[in-house]
Amino acid sequence: MSGLEWVIEAHGCDGRALADLPRLRALFTDVVAAMALRPVGLPMWHQFPTTGGITGLCLLAESHLACHTFPEHQSICLNVFCCHPRPDWDFAGYFKREFGATAVNVRRIERPYIHERESRQLSELRRADQVPLV
């Protein structure tokens, strides 16, 4: 058994959208619903006064969902970690549609729970599938 982690970086985004807290809340709501995640409380948010960038964190029964926006660089980083496998979601399409991203990099990483010496199959699980920039 292993967990799954997605690390998503979107570039060329609309800087105003990245500083829009309701839009980031909607992102979390959409990810939670689409991936059937279970928040254990309300997300926590912090908006930086100088840049308008936002950091968000949602503790999940499955692990966590976090984002960091950089309006001044037109980029957002999203991290989703699940302790149980979940189907992939169209992160690239979402960021292009909702934030105007021109490039999205999605990395899906399997996180095995047993040590390498305990499993001969672990080398296959350690491979991070790189999704090309779109």
Asked if 83 is an active-site residue, the reply is: yes
CA distance 108 to 97: 21
In the chain, DSSP finds a helix count (H) and a strand count (E) of: 4, 7
**From the candidates 64, 73, 77, 83, which is the catalytic residue?**
83
CA distance 27 to 30: 5
Asked if 13 is an active-site residue, the reply is: no
**From the candidates 58, 63, 75, 82, which is the catalytic residue?**
63
Asked if 123 is an active-site residue, the reply is: no
**From the candidates 58, 68, 75, 82, which is the catalytic residue?**
68
Residues recorded for the chain? 134
Q: Which residues are catalytic?
A: 63, 68, 83
